[in-house]
Amino acid sequence: MEVILLERVEKLGAIGDVVRVKDGFARNYLLPRKKALRANESNRKLFEANRTRIEQDNEAKRSDAEKAATGVDGKSVKLIRQASNVGHLYGSVSARDIAEALEAVGATVAKSQVVLDHPIKAIGVHEVKIALHPEVAVTVKVNVARSPEEADLQAQGVDVLHQMFEEDAAPIAAEELEPVGETVETGEAAAAEELPTEEAAEEAPAEGDGEQA
């Protein structure tokens, strides 16, 4: 299907461009969100008659988005989630979760402005694109962790999973090893002290000898 773009669409074109897209993409995304018109004769005339107004409206929205960007760009949010020992979340972090977390730190962002190719399903610090306008985009950091302490470590650049695996695989220090040889020798020495020697047994008076003497 051919459509006339009413705003800039990434990887497609700018306002007024006539482009060919898949029918499903046009029907499910571009047309219902008023990002484009079907490229028929009547719509071409309609667009040309309103081109100036459309471009002015776009410029005003872009200017507002640039101002809003200063309060969003570089923001960092923490999301505490349950996860397995290898960092896989029991669930996922969605665009809605990120929008709500940003709002909690004073950055108002619509769910539709959070650009996620797929939900976040692992702990770590993830960079997420926020499209405030077709021509204005910023990046925020989403710190997903299993605890506030873990989130603080990740914010400092620590790879908590790598660190945990290193600790599990670390060799036992020499001083932590039990001195097996010494223990055995000590045990034998103790046993030797408890058991009488043959000479001592011969010299020791038999039980009852004292009474007969």
Helix (H, G, I), strand (E, B) or coil at 73: coil
pLDDT 10s digits, 66-87: 999 999 999 999 999 999 999 9
CA distance 83 to 63: 41
CA of residue 185 relative to chain centroid, distance:
54
- Residue 75: CB partners within 8 Å, gap ≥ 6? 102, 105, 107, 140, 141
Beta-bridge partner residues of 164: none
Task: Give the model's pLDDT for residue 77.
Answer: 97
CA distance 87 to 212: 83
Q: Please classify residue 143 by burial: count the beta carbons closer than 10 Å to its beta carbon, then call 0-12 exposed, 13-18 middle and 19+ buried.
A: buried
Task: Give the model's pLDDT for residue 180.
Answer: 53
Q: State which residues of the chain have pLDDT below 50.
A: 183-193, 195, 198-202, 206-213
Domains of the chain, CATH where assigned: 2-65 (3.40.5.10), 76-169 (3.10.430.100)
